[in-house]
Structure 1
């Protein structure tokens, strides 16, 4: 299992560079297609759930189907239940927002050109991302910014990172292998930590290559993110509270990290073929506020999406021994039992 974990980690992060890492505007694309409505009472021909809460005077007070999502235990399980009852396309309400969830790949093809996402998806992230972030920009501006940076995460660009990806995953496998038999391994924490280190390298270069810098950054980031997660759970702090002060102080430290990264890359510019996301932003003469906002947005979106995808992939592999064995043999046939994963290996991985 340790061998396949190393291969899976490297492969998943390379794959994410082509698929998940296409930009923050695509965070929710694989799950939901949302349409903004002035009123949640507007009829839809799509089968699904009506809002479960009573009629309220102020639309912002509406919970929609949040109670059902909570009862299901997760959005993933809620959507699985929803589609089991209503079919490949189904509707539900997220507060006062009508949401259309698409399960069928064929139906999803009809909506693959969807580009921007509703503000509601990122509303609670604005204190962290700031209003200058790409997720709050007008569509014309988003397209310009995406055209500028998309190449940083393509298959070709990721060749620059294959060596360090192998190094990081092999280090993790050695660490796990040294644990006593039966030792608990926190899946989410491990996958998010691995993801953060890899995403920091692809976004900002080798500034975070050493463990000390990564650990210091992660400690500050966790303070900020824990507050954001509390707000997602409905625990909004009052203005002037101690939580607001702690959040702002931690955010200032976080953005000071970004400032040091930017100064480092400006003083030590890489060659064009080794340029990463931050170098492209610097050369484009982004305003400092926009540069900082997009750096935080891509870092946050990239490592959360990657880390949770990795965690779920390992979770489901652990639940299905037959698929795990099939995948293991597929990787061994291509890579062998030892040795690093190459981009040529990844291109041959077509298991279905």
Structure 2
């Protein structure tokens, strides 16, 4: 996840230099850049951390520039790590730093906690208010897919990103995004911004390309203009269906805070939802028995009646599938906390104000925590231990990121709509390679085929 490094650098610039404190790890390759080139050479921060922990064990250190970073790569160590800063979501903090947003990144703890709750409640309320919208979008996708010949290859990533963007924009900002032209405009800017977040900044390539930098800045400016227009239209009005932006506006936040939170949800919500749906459907095509068990659950719970939120919450096996999708794909492979007070991991002291990385992608593939870790096996989440482990890592329960909570519900609706009517089938010979960034995605387009159920 190369995207993460600029966030870390932003944080660490305010800190004083640290000694390695006896924690095993890499010495700086270069005095100025530390291990930056080592990360670039591995292809992503996740792949760098996999190699780092294989070499040095579950607690290891390396250097961003002249600053020490400690990475934790086992469940036991994460259980040990105590951090008093529990008021902010690390995923949102990463994105805010990457986008240059400062409000809520470092500030009054009480104010940050209130804003975090407002953000979470806004997503929950907008999901409830827009449940039928997401069902409608799912059924529209089903209608398109039902018309595709069985032998035709379907570009899964492309469809899922379009579906996710419609779901997120209409849920976040309202009916203006029922217009496909507005969605296409949003998608163009979204793609430009997301493609540059992290990699272009980390390896310096964006600074060496005035054209790319200008395209990025223009896309960000245009995206902010779209959000400002939506804020203006919805402020002080009662436009009907409640959306995420309405919750922020009712919370007496400044326009700047509303803009930033909407930007974070729009960017992160689209990418997390799209890739959760992509990986879940892809894994279902490779596991026929899992897909058939899901079909039986969906038909038993839904019957011939309408889809409701209450019924979605009864789809326990579907939730197991989504949890296993997050684990197998390492959906978000890195998280982080700032060590606000001096702490200790095993025999190692972590100094105050050290950035501590949670190597989630490493932990999610640890065979000591997950038997047959590289096998897609939703049944593992019948065990309470597996559920507790996922909650500890922030992918379930009270600690899960709000954007992931949104994605879980959207994916549940979509899967229940699709598997009722369609068999999701693999393309023979396809080899799926993974791209590890802020959110993990297929490196190339993922292709599937479809057939109608009798």
TM > 0.5 fold call: yes
Q: Verify the 8 A CA contact 1:191 1:307 in the aligned structure 2.
A: yes
Q: TM-score, normalised by structure 1?
A: 0.70
Q: Verify the 8 A CA contact 1:50 1:93 in the aligned structure 2.
A: yes
Q: Verify the 8 A CA contact 2:245 2:262 in the aligned structure 1.
A: yes
Q: Verify the 8 A CA contact 1:165 1:198 in the aligned structure 2.
A: yes
Q: Separation in 1 of the partners of 2:316 and 2:173?
A: 30
Partner in structure 2 of residue 12 of structure 1: none
- CA deviations on 1:268-310 (whole Å, 9 max, x unpaired) are 4246xx4332112223332222221121112112222222222
Match of 1:297 among 253, 264, 272: 264
Change (3 A) 1:254 1:78: same
Does 1:41 find its partner at 2:20? yes
Q: Separation in 1 of the partners of 2:87 and 2:158?
A: 31
Match of 1:322 among 282, 289, 298: 289
Change (3 A) 1:78 1:61: closer
Does 1:61 find its partner at 2:34? yes
3-state SS of 1:98 partner: strand
Q: TM-score, normalised by structure 2?
A: 0.56
Partner in structure 2 of residue 97 of structure 1: 69
Once the 2 structures are TM-superposed, how far is the Cα of residue 54 of structure 1 from its aligned partner? 5.1
Once the 2 structures are TM-superposed, how far is the Cα of residue 173 of structure 1 from its aligned partner? 1.6
Match of 2:174 among 183, 196, 205: 205
Partner in structure 2 of residue 344 of structure 1: 310
Q: Separation in 1 of the partners of 2:39 and 2:175?
A: 41
Change (3 A) 1:205 1:119: closer
Does 1:131 find its partner at 2:102? yes
User: Where in structure 2 are the equivalents of 1:69-84 lying within 5 Å?
Assistant: 69-70=42-43, 75=46
Segments of 5+ residues of structure 2 without an aligned counterpart are 5-10, 318-381, 383-454
Q: Separation in 2 of the partners of 1:111 and 1:136?
A: 15
Q: Separation in 1 of the partners of 2:75 and 2:244?
A: 32
Change (3 A) 1:69 1:280: same
Once the 2 structures are TM-superposed, how far is the Cα of residue 165 of structure 1 from its aligned partner? 1.0
Change (3 A) 1:139 1:319: farther
- CA deviations on 1:42-97 (whole Å, 9 max, x unpaired) are 334xxxx833x754323x43238626853xx893x77778889999x554647452
Q: Separation in 2 of the partners of 1:332 and 1:278?
A: 35
Segments of 5+ residues of structure 1 without an aligned counterpart are 1-27, 29-34
Q: Verify the 8 A CA contact 1:192 1:307 in the aligned structure 2.
A: yes
Partner in structure 2 of residue 214 of structure 1: 183
Number of residue-to-residue matches in the alignment:
303
3-state SS of 1:99 partner: strand
Q: Separation in 2 of the partners of 1:74 and 1:339?
A: 47
Does 1:149 find its partner at 2:119? yes
| 276-285 or 306-315: bigger deviation | 276-285
Change (3 A) 1:122 1:249: closer
> Higher helix share goes to which structure?
1
User: Where in structure 2 are the equivalents of 1:228-239 lying within 5 Å?
Assistant: 228=197, 230-231=199-200, 234-238=203-207
Change (3 A) 1:221 1:54: closer
Partner in structure 2 of residue 193 of structure 1: 162
Partner in structure 2 of residue 178 of structure 1: 147
Q: Separation in 1 of the partners of 2:185 and 2:153?
A: 24
Q: Separation in 1 of the partners of 2:209 and 2:37?
A: 30
Change (3 A) 1:68 1:42: farther
Tell me the C-alpha RMSD between the 2 structures.
3.9
Q: Separation in 2 of the partners of 1:306 and 1:182?
A: 27
Q: Verify the 8 A CA contact 1:64 1:94 in the aligned structure 2.
A: no
- CA deviations on 1:187-233 (whole Å, 9 max, x unpaired) are 22322221121111222222212322211221232233333354156
Match of 1:244 among 189, 200, 213: 213
Q: Verify the 8 A CA contact 1:65 1:93 in the aligned structure 2.
A: no
- CA deviations on 1:206-264 (whole Å, 9 max, x unpaired) are 22123222112212322333333541562443389233322222222211111221122
